[in-house]
């Protein structure tokens, strides 16, 4: 900012041209304070998240759910709490899980997430859950899994033949699974809707990042997906439903305050803009 | 012949893929599976071209000391290093996992986390109620931002239900948002079908390279 020009500029003009580092500082502070001093704001459950919970909750122990997870370190903050909450719900009820990771950057994270939550409930690999891993070209892989999981994945992530895993006996394709809950931070979620649901008729729910969520309400009202978990707020709702508060519920304080501050910025920015324009005539 | 053979391949495979969708017979399904495998194999060749192109671009930057050549050096070392560790040490190799966990993960997570700061700055500077449409957009954004987080309940929870931010936000997402998205999806779907048909029938030939002639 030109320091010599500042005294001649009006208050509103200076406010409009404020150094962006002040904005960064304010956001930094409002993000840190609720982390240090949690407020515990109440989380309301939306019907699209409640639907996912109800459908999973209605399953009997021994049922199989497919939970493909496609997220990476960039989107992990939003989707990992969601994955944890859904996996906890499944493993606590004795529901078996088949998972894939069709995004290459996230394979290691997803493998670790599965192992971590399975260990929490004492679930065994091959009996209670199976991780198929990664194969390139998600669209083609999803289509092939609709015929037989063994076509794209003759072996699981660890190199075991699928037929050698007790859980996979008699499990061939999506029709062997009660539903698919796809946790996805990529546009690959469209393949799950177009191929797994539309072509192969698999009941499908999705968990996506908050910015992606608006794209999928159209599929919710057309019943192509039966549930939608959107971003960290959706994860917090699921944590509340399973009565296992975690990172997402704690982060709701941060998100609430940060959103409020951004709204205040927008209001102040507009007041400054119109005031400075009025002054200029 | 250089043009006719690719056009014939596209016609035959395009018609078969459309046909098999409506014929759930075992033979049709097996051929379809085989074709899907071919797609993956052909796709892997594009990765080879991608890696060769990446190496060529960055090698040239280093060789001629172009601006930012140091980053190109890091790119090439990272590519060769991670590929070597993965190929020779396996995916469960400790060093490979450590580079991923303590190198790639924090870097990509940090990049994404910075978005919050940029969005706040952009919202302050660019979100202006200049026209009726931009005012509507601004109002919708504010309502959804507050209505989708717990603080929205605290601010408007005492109001009658239809006036609560969470309910207005839900309406915005389910009705105007869905209507707009459907319009876009239907338009895109019809466009894709029309272009696909033109390619299969050989009317659209620009994919052949050059001007398609």
Average pLDDT, integer, range B195-213? 85
In 3-state terms, what secondary structure has residue A98? strand
If you ran DSSP here, which 8-state letter would residue A155 be given?
B
Question: In residues, how long is chain B?
Answer: 213
- Flag if A27 and B120 touch (Cβ within 8 Å): yes
Two structure tokens written together for A53: 């919970």
Average pLDDT, integer, range B68-97? 90
- Flag if A263 and B36 touch (Cβ within 8 Å): no
Of the residues B37, B38, B91, B120, the best mutation for testing chain A's interface (the one with the most A CB atoms within 10 Å of its CB) is B120
Contact A12, A272 (CB under 8 A): yes
- Flag if B145 and A262 touch (Cβ within 8 Å): yes
Of A94, A128, A130, A124, residue with least CA distance to A111: A130
Q: Is the pTM of this model over 0.90?
A: no
Which residue on chain A is closest to B103 by alpha carbon? A73
With helix as H, strand as E and coil as C, how does B56-100 read? HHHHHHHHCCCCCHHHHHHHHHHHHHHHHHHHHHCCCCHHHHHHH
- Flag if A44 and B39 touch (Cβ within 8 Å): no
- Flag if A270 and B100 touch (Cβ within 8 Å): no
Backbone φ/ψ region at A37: left (φ over 0), alpha (ψ -120 to 50), beta: beta
Average pLDDT over all residues of chain B: 90
d(C-alpha B149, C-alpha B165), whole Å? 10
Residue numbers of A between 90 and 129 with CB closer than 8 Å to B:
105, 107-109
Which of A73, A217, A260 is the closest to B105 by Cβ? A73
Which residue on chain B is closest to A41 by alpha carbon? B150
Residue numbers of B between 73 and 92 with CB closer than 8 Å to A:
91
Contact A131, A114 (CB under 8 A): yes
Predicted confidence (pLDDT) per residue in B23-66, tens digit: 878 888 888 888 888 888 888 888 889 999 999 999 999 999 99
- C-alpha angle A211-A214-A218 in degrees, rounded to nearest 5: 155
- B134 to chain A, any CB pair closer than 8 A? The answer is no
Residue numbers of B between 153 and 192 with CB closer than 8 Å to A:
153-154, 166, 170, 173-174, 177-178, 181-182, 185
Q: What letters, b where the CB count within 10 A reaches 16 and e where it falls short, cover A58-89?
A: ebeeebbbbbbbbbbbbbbbbbbbbbbbbbbb
d(C-alpha B85, C-alpha A171), whole Å? 35
In 3-state terms, what secondary structure has residue A97? strand
Of the residues B35, B119, B135, B149, the best mutation for testing chain A's interface (the one with the most A CB atoms within 10 Å of its CB) is B149
pLDDT of residue A57: 97
Q: What is the ipTM of this complex?
A: 0.83
pLDDT of residue B55: 95
In the structure, what pLDDT confidence band is assigned to residue B213 with cuts at 50, 70 and 90? low
pLDDT of residue A128: 97
Backbone φ/ψ region at A79: left (φ over 0), alpha (ψ -120 to 50), beta: alpha
Which of A73, A210, A252 is the closest to B150 by Cβ? A252
- Flag if A74 and B154 touch (Cβ within 8 Å): no
- Flag if B178 and A217 touch (Cβ within 8 Å): yes
Residues of A in contact with B104 (CB under 8 A): 73, 105
- B39 to chain A, any CB pair closer than 8 A? The answer is yes
Tell me the shortest Cα–Cα distance from A61 to chain B, in angstroms: 32
Contact B123, A265 (CB under 8 A): yes
pLDDT of residue B157: 87
* Alpha carbon separation from B10 to A199, A261, B2, B29, B76 (Å, rounded): 23, 55, 13, 19, 37
Of the residues B44, B151, B165, B188, the best mutation for testing chain A's interface (the one with the most A CB atoms within 10 Å of its CB) is B151
Tell me the shortest Cα–Cα distance from B125 to chain A, in angstroms: 6
Tell me the shortest Cα–Cα distance from B1 to chain A, in angstroms: 30
Of A119, A59, A57, residue with least CA distance to A84: A119
pLDDT of residue A3: 47
- Flag if A143 and B182 touch (Cβ within 8 Å): no
Of the residues A40, A41, A50, A74, the best mutation for testing chain B's interface (the one with the most B CB atoms within 10 Å of its CB) is A74
Residues with Cβ < 8 Å from B204, sequence gap 6 or more?
Answer: B195, B198, B212
Predicted confidence (pLDDT) per residue in B172-190, tens digit: 999 999 999 999 999 999 9
- B121 to chain A, any CB pair closer than 8 A? The answer is yes
Contact A225, A192 (CB under 8 A): no
- B105 to chain A, any CB pair closer than 8 A? The answer is yes
Which of A143, A230, A259 is the closest to B151 by Cβ? A259
d(C-alpha A8, C-alpha B6), whole Å? 69
**Tens-binned pLDDT, residue by residue, of chain A (281 aa):** 444 444 456 888 888 888 999 999 999 999 899 888 888 888 999 999 999 999 999 999 999 999 999 999 999 999 999 999 999 999 999 999 999 999 988 898 999 999 999 999 999 999 999 999 999 889 999 999 998 999 899 999 999 999 999 999 999 999 999 999 999 999 999 999 999 999 999 999 999 999 999 999 999 989 999 999 999 999 999 999 999 999 999 999 999 999 999 999 999 999 998 888 777 66
Using the predicted structure, report yes or no on whether residue B211 has a pLDDT greater than 70. Answer: no
pLDDT of residue A7: 47
- Flag if A262 and B119 touch (Cβ within 8 Å): yes
- A156 to chain B, any CB pair closer than 8 A? The answer is no
């Amino acid at each position: 900012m030109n320091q010599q020009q500042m005294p001649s500029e009006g208050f509103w003009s200076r406010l409009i041209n404020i150094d962006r580092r002040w904005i960064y500082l304010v956001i930094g502070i409002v993000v840190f304070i609720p982390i240090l001093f949690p407020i515990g704001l109440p989380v309301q459950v939306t019907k699209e998240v409640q639907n996912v919970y109800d459908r999973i909750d209605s399953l009997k122990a021994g049922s199989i759910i497919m939970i493909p997870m496609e997220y990476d370190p960039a989107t992990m903050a939003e989707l990992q709490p969601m994955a944890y909450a859904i996996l906890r719900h499944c493993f606590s009820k004795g529901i078996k899980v088949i998972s894939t990771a069709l995004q290459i950057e996230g394979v290691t994270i997803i493998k670790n997430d599965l192992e971590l939550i399975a260990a929490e409930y004492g679930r065994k690999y091959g009996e209670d859950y199976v991780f198929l891993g990664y194969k390139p070209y998600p669209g083609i892989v999803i289509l092939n899994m609709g015929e037989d999981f063994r076509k794209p994945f003759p072996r699981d992530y660890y190199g075991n033949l699928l037929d050698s895993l007790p859980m996979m006996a008699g499990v061939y394709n999506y029709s062997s699974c009660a539903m698919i809950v796809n946790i996805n931070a990529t546009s690959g979620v469209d393949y799950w809707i177009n191929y797994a649901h539309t072509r192969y008729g698999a009941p499908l729910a999705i968990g996506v990042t908050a910015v992606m969520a608006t794209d999928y309400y159209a599929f919710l009202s057309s019943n192509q997906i039966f549930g939608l978990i959107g971003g960290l707020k959706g994860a917090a709702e699921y944590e509340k439903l399973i009565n296992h508060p975690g990172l997402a519920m704690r982060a709701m304080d941060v998100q609430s305050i940060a959103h409020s501050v951004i709204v205040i910025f927008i209001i102040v920015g507009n007041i400054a803009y119109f005031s400075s324009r009025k002054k200029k005539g | 012949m250089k043009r006719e053979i690719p056009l014939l391949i596209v016609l035959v495979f395009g018609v078969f893929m459309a046909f098999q969708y409506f014929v759930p017979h075992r033979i049709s399904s097996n051929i379809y599976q085989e074709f899907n495998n071919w797609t993956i194999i052909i796709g892997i060749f594009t990765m080879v071209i991608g890696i060769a192109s990446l190496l060529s671009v960055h090698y040239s930057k280093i060789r001629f000391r172009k601006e930012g050549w140091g980053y190109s050096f890091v790119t090439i070392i990272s590519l060769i290093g991670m590929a070597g560790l993965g190929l020779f040490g396996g995916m469960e190799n400790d060093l490979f996992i450590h580079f991923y966990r303590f190198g790639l993960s924090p870097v990509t997570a940090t990049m994404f986390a910075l978005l919050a700061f940029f969005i706040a700055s952009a919202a302050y500077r660019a979100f202006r109620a200049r026209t009726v449409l931009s005012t509507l957009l601004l109002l919708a954004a504010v309502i959804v931002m507050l209505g989708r987080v717990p603080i929205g309940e605290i601010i408007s929870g005492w109001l009658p239900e239809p006036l609560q931010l969470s309910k207005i936000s839900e309406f915005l997402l389910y009705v105007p948002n869905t209507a707009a998205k459907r319009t876009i999806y239907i338009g895109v779907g019809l466009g894709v079908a029309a272009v696909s048909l033109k390619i299969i029938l050989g009317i659209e030939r620009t994919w052949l390279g050059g001007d398609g002639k």
